[in-house]
Structure 1
Amino acid sequence: MAGGKLSARQKMINMMYLVLTALLALNVSAEILDAFDSLRASLKSSAETFAEKNMDTKGQILDKVQEEMSTGNIKNQGLIKLAGDVEKETNVVINYLNELTDSLNSIAEWDELIKEYHNIKETELNFQYWMGAGKDQMNNGRGDGAAIRLKAKLDDFVKFARDFIAANDTGGTSRIKFSEIAIDPENDPRVSESNPGKNTPWEYYTFHSKPVIADLAMMEKFKLDVQGVHSELLNFIKAKLGAVKFKIDSLILVDAPTSRVVAAGMKFETKLFVAATSKDAVPEFSGSGSVRSTDGGYAAMMSMTASGGFGKGQNEKEASYNATAVISDASGGKQSLRLS
């Protein structure tokens, strides 16, 4: 499983698939073929249930964001696009698996009128479909049929999921990991070293000498795997609906002297304090003087020319200035800090 939380029933169904696949190597009996058909139906039901659950999760995300936006809080507006991107990529793979299922239904001679298959034991046409007729030795034994293209599609989806987490895990705290859905036997710990197919490509290992009904069940299992990844990504997005947290990137020691010029014998005083900076909250400075950003934008220097026009007998003059720093706050809005 590449990701997502499987129920006990779904885990049991996956285990049944592995058991039945092992039994195929011993005997392709009518009972085993019928068991695969029953398993196909169970996997199909589980995948559809998982898809509905994911749609509910997406709906919860959209409802919450829209509720926030109705009050003027737009901090999570970007999550709408993220959820949409995830659903789009998921649908691409699911639709592709549905197309493969339609092709397998033709090989298995699905009768739409009576809702039954007439040829669930077909192996040769099934193998040719997956590996390409007479092409099973091409591409280093991966063939040139539907199997090699399916692996590429599944690999691309897992890569998308990994890249999605990496790009959006701004705090660097996510522990979500995705394993390959279509993994070569030599890299699959579930395939024992004594297995004759241990060093064969995934395409050959997965589809060699299998009746078409076994691969119809496999398509539903892949849909379940894809929905598992979909679930993990949606829950990752949903977790962002919590309170905004700013990660402290660095601490800066700042001093604010009471005066830059001190006569001999007088005390020099400066106020010391530690300031925290976050790349998620860079302030915008403005003021009555010329403002220049420093320290990567986390601080600023404001300068202005002292005015003249002293009165007779006057050697000092009071002047005023103001400054403002605008910074994002935890509500997703902006907080204005003023000094005058």
Structure 2
Amino acid sequence: MASGKLSPRQKMINLMYLVFIAMLAMQMSKEVLSAFGYMNEKFSANNITADARNNATLENLATKASEQPEKYQSLYATATKVNEMSENFSNYLDSKIAFFLKDQEDPKAYESMDKTDLVDQHFFNGDAYTKEGQEFLDQINGYRNGIIELLGENNPLAGTIANRFDTSDQKVEGGKQAWLKNRYEGFPLISTITNMTSMKTDIKTTETEIYSLLLGGQLESDVSMTKYEAIVIPEKTAFFQGEAFKGKIVLGKVDPTLKPKSVKVNGSQLPESSIQAGQVLLNFPAGAVGERDIVGEFIFTEKGVDIPIPIKSSYAVIPKPNSAVISADKMNVVYRGVANPMTISIPGVPDNLVSATGTGLSKASGTGKYIMTPGSGSEVKISVTGKLPDGSSVSNYQTFRIKDIPSPNGTIRKQSGYVKMPSSSLENSTVGAELPDFDFDLSLNTTGFTIKVPGQGAVVVRGDRMDSAAQKAIAKSKRGDVIVIFDIKSTLSGNSSYRIKDASAVSIEIQ
């Protein structure tokens, strides 16, 4: 405002300007608060997607670790530790967000989250930090330092992670300011909530980058010739005395264009004619009864250097079969309520001279093929008898565990977990049940479920679609309401007598 003596009219004009500027500031403040809220929603949605993606990657790595422990076990151990540290830090941030929002009647009323005192009193005590403020800093620093220590300071991601979770003093006009004060003191509540949700996004991003680096490093390692492994594949697992051993040696990665410089087995260099389409065919006397070794090496040339790949395996030479081979085609257990395919055979004995018995076991079409349909109990015993060429018999048995079909996942429009849709779509949706990770292809028929709309009583529905009572309850829901469908009951198609466990619940957010 100009100084000096002003007329009453000029004073009134100046006062109106002040009021107008204040009104603009208030309006801008509301818009900024709302913008923070919408940004927080987007971060939260992205975090859900990132969580699903990271969990899928971790599950895939767990499968690889169980199938190829020497190659993936150490990677999976590192990924598991990263996931554990990330989950702990993310859960801590969730607890802080919940604390700051506990007195908010509407968590989406962003324009009302303009106060600064709640965060200031929680984190700061004058120029010092409260216990909670110091704990917040320690959590960030602990996560950052723990991840870098796990990966190693020379890891290409170490610098990125250090910058992403940097809590060092910040440059301000006239000097420096502590990071916590610079980012959280005097800011409206919604900005603190958004900052913490954004930090959760950084956690998910860190997980994704680490998993990608771990798998990418393994892939790069796999394509190097130094990582190939020689595999001896006999024509059969055991040989009679006097037979010739027949089999082949292949590399872990079979490539028809791949040809070694030379191959040596048991002290002899094999002729070039034995090397065909990335495989080495073997044909030599099996030897005397007992354990026999196969040793040698492949020689490849890579960048002008000869690289040896050792060959080491063994096989057994036996005078006659002494046991039966019984295996479940699908898994190491048999499941109640379904037909479990099995292969039963005795090496060296024709299928027509092999007989197998067991409760629920029946012969199927195909050599050595059987179907096991277990009944009650926790185990089933399968006995096998075979008639040898000399007229004698060999017998053996195997005990299998019996398990029930696992609980299915509840679905709405074939989506499980947390789903978003308009209420009008939900009214006409079909409720289902599925077994996504089950080895058998089973069809489940939904026979009933219970739906709970916020503020209304639960509605029990028969069948797989909404009845009039359920549709009436859904029609009263509001945007943002989370409707839960639970107690989802189903039957097994083709075997309605078998009792399927209730499917997991489905949550639907009304849009």
- In which range does the TM-score fall when normalised by the shorter chain? 0.5 to 0.7
Confirm or deny: 8 A CA contact 1:154 1:181 kept in the other structure: no
Give the Å deviation of 1:118: 8.1
Q: Using a 3 Å threshold, how does the CA distance of structure 1 residues 110 and 335 change in structure 2: closer, same or farther? A: farther
Task: Report 1:162-173 matches (<5 A).
Answer: 162-166=148-152
Give the Å deviation of 1:175: 2.2
Q: Using a 3 Å threshold, how does the CA distance of structure 1 residues 110 and 118 change in structure 2: closer, same or farther? A: farther
**Among residues 127, 151, 156, which one is paired with 1:175 in the alignment?**
156
What one-letter code is carried by the residue in structure 2 that aligns with 1:111? D
Tell me which protein shows more helix as a share of its residues.
1
Give the Å deviation of 1:206: 1.1
Q: Which residue does the alignment assign to 1:99?
A: 95
Q: Larger radius of gyration, structure 1 or 2? A: 2
Matched, 1:136 2:119: no
What one-letter code is carried by the residue in structure 2 that aligns with 1:57? T
Q: Using a 3 Å threshold, how does the CA distance of structure 1 residues 203 and 136 change in structure 2: closer, same or farther? A: farther
Confirm or deny: 8 A CA contact 1:130 1:147 kept in the other structure: yes
Give the Å deviation of 1:336: 4.0
Q: Which residue does the alignment assign to 1:126?
A: 119
Q: Using a 3 Å threshold, how does the CA distance of structure 1 residues 75 and 206 change in structure 2: closer, same or farther? A: same
Q: Using a 3 Å threshold, how does the CA distance of structure 1 residues 32 and 65 change in structure 2: closer, same or farther? A: same
Q: Which residue does the alignment assign to 1:40?
A: 40
Task: Report 1:81-96 matches (<5 A).
Answer: 81-96=77-92
Tell me which protein shows more strand as a share of its residues.
2
Q: Which residue does the alignment assign to 1:219?
A: 196
Q: Using a 3 Å threshold, how does the CA distance of structure 1 residues 58 and 99 change in structure 2: closer, same or farther? A: same
Q: Which residue does the alignment assign to 1:61?
A: 61
Confirm or deny: 8 A CA contact 1:151 1:182 kept in the other structure: no
1:183 counterpart SS class: coil
Q: Which residue does the alignment assign to 1:50?
A: 50
What one-letter code is carried by the residue in structure 1 that aligns with 2:176? N
Give the Å deviation of 1:52: 1.9
Q: Which residue does the alignment assign to 1:313?
A: none
RMSD: 3.6
User: Aligned equivalents of 2:310 and 2:91: distance in 1?
Assistant: 43
User: Aligned equivalents of 1:91 and 1:111: distance in 2?
Assistant: 27
User: Aligned equivalents of 1:184 and 1:200: distance in 2?
Assistant: 11
User: Aligned equivalents of 1:223 and 1:206: distance in 2?
Assistant: 16
User: Aligned equivalents of 1:56 and 1:41: distance in 2?
Assistant: 23
Q: Which residue does the alignment assign to 1:229?
A: 206
- 1:249-268 deviation digits (Å, cap 9, x = unpaired): xxxxxxxxxxxxxxxxxxxx
Matched, 1:146 2:132: yes
User: Aligned equivalents of 1:90 and 1:184: distance in 2?
Assistant: 18
User: Aligned equivalents of 2:225 and 2:181: distance in 1?
Assistant: 50
User: Aligned equivalents of 1:77 and 1:165: distance in 2?
Assistant: 16
User: Aligned equivalents of 1:176 and 1:185: distance in 2?
Assistant: 19
User: Aligned equivalents of 2:310 and 2:122: distance in 1?
Assistant: 59
User: Aligned equivalents of 1:43 and 1:163: distance in 2?
Assistant: 28
Q: Using a 3 Å threshold, how does the CA distance of structure 1 residues 78 and 334 change in structure 2: closer, same or farther? A: farther
Give the TM-score, by structure 1 length. Answer: 0.53
Confirm or deny: 8 A CA contact 1:33 1:213 kept in the other structure: yes
Unmatched segments (≥5 aa) in structure 1: 1-25, 248-323, 328-332
Matched, 1:199 2:176: yes
Q: Percent identity?
A: 15
Confirm or deny: 8 A CA contact 1:83 1:234 kept in the other structure: yes
Deviates more, 1:37-46 or 1:93-102: 37-46
Give the Å deviation of 1:182: 4.4
Confirm or deny: 8 A CA contact 1:110 1:118 kept in the other structure: no
User: Aligned equivalents of 1:64 and 1:130: distance in 2?
Assistant: 44
Matched, 1:111 2:88: no
Work out the number of aligned pairs and report it: 209
What one-letter code is carried by the residue in structure 2 that aligns with 1:137? D
Confirm or deny: 8 A CA contact 2:43 2:198 kept in the other structure: yes
Give the Å deviation of 1:246: 9.3
Confirm or deny: 8 A CA contact 2:86 2:207 kept in the other structure: yes
User: Aligned equivalents of 1:182 and 1:29: distance in 2?
Assistant: 28
